[in-house]
Amino acid sequence: MTTTRPTVGMVYPGHAAEDEYPAAARTLGVHLPVAHVYGTDLHAVAELLDLGSPDRLAGGAEQLAAHGPQAVMWACTSGSFVYGPEGARDQVAELARRTGVPTSSTSLAFVAGLEALGSARVAVAATYPRVVADLFGEFLAAAGVEVVSLTGAGIDTAAEVGTLGPDEVAELAVRHDHPRAEVLLVPDTAMRTLDVLPRLEARLGKPVLTANQVTIWYGLRLAGARPHAPTLGTLFARK
């Protein structure tokens, strides 16, 4: 089945905050079909390497083929940056070979979002245990991003992250901002952040980039679409 709307396929790990994709699709007038891949949802290096393995991602890509996507995203931050900068690029290159369309991941989307904003000094409010959060910091640093503050909240599983309500998400983000940061990054596609973005940016007075937000934004860019939606944050407010 094909559609005239811009279509970006999302390969999403397990179940947590995937409802943000159809909600954003309605706002943007696009199609964001989700294919689920499964492994453990533990925020630990060995488990994340397994979650992002080529065979798992290929299975997700196969599920999305019926939608005729113009681009595909591996909608997982930790399951991409855990491979390191070169490994993350290899990961999406292999997935692109399977999909036949432009393909990327959430970790690479964060870097692309910062480039679009012209910003390179960030604070990171991560949900992960510190050892995993530090790998994200190293991934960003390798891309030329200055990480002035990085916090790992120590949440062990994606399922637990998915239970956080809007006030808890906002509190985690605000608590771990830094006055020197030009942008606050909130990784983890298991966290629902889209509804709190406008008030977060208003409260902090700076752009906030979150995992599902940048995944959708970059996927649409790869598909050749640039919808305007200020309710989804500064990234979507720019033409």
pLDDT for the residue numbered 209: 98
**Three-state DSSP state, 143:** coil
Question: Residue 144: left (phi > 0), alpha (psi -120 to 50), or beta?
Answer: left
Asked if residues 18 and 36 have their Cβ atoms less than 8 Å apart, the reply is yes
Separation of alpha carbons 233 and 239, rounded Å: 12
Is 179 within 8 Å of 156 (Cβ atoms)? no
Q: Quick one: pLDDT at residue 195? A: 94
- The per-residue pLDDT for 76 is 96
What backbone torsions phi and psi does residue 200 show, to the nearest 5 degrees? -65, -50
Mean pLDDT by 10 residues, the chain (239 residues): 79 94 96 93 90 93 95 96 96 95 98 96 95 96 97 86 90 94 96 94 96 98 94 90
Among candidates 189, 22, 18, which has minimal Cα distance to 107?
189
Question: Do 140 and 111 touch, CB atoms closer than 8 A?
Answer: yes
- Domain at 109-211: CATH architecture: 3-Layer(aba) Sandwich (3.40)
Q: Report which DSSP code applies to 29.
A: T
| pLDDT at position 201 | 96
Task: Please tell me the predicted confidence (pLDDT) of residue 239.
Answer: 66
CATH number for the domain whose boundaries are 8-108+212-230: 3.40.50.12500
In the chain, residues under CATH classification 3.40.50.12500 are 8-108+212-230, 109-211
Cα dist from 104 to 5, 123, 160, whole Å: 20, 23, 26
Percentage with pLDDT > 70 across the chain: 98
Cα–Cα distance measured from residue 187 to residue 192, given in angstroms and rounded to the nearest whole number = 11
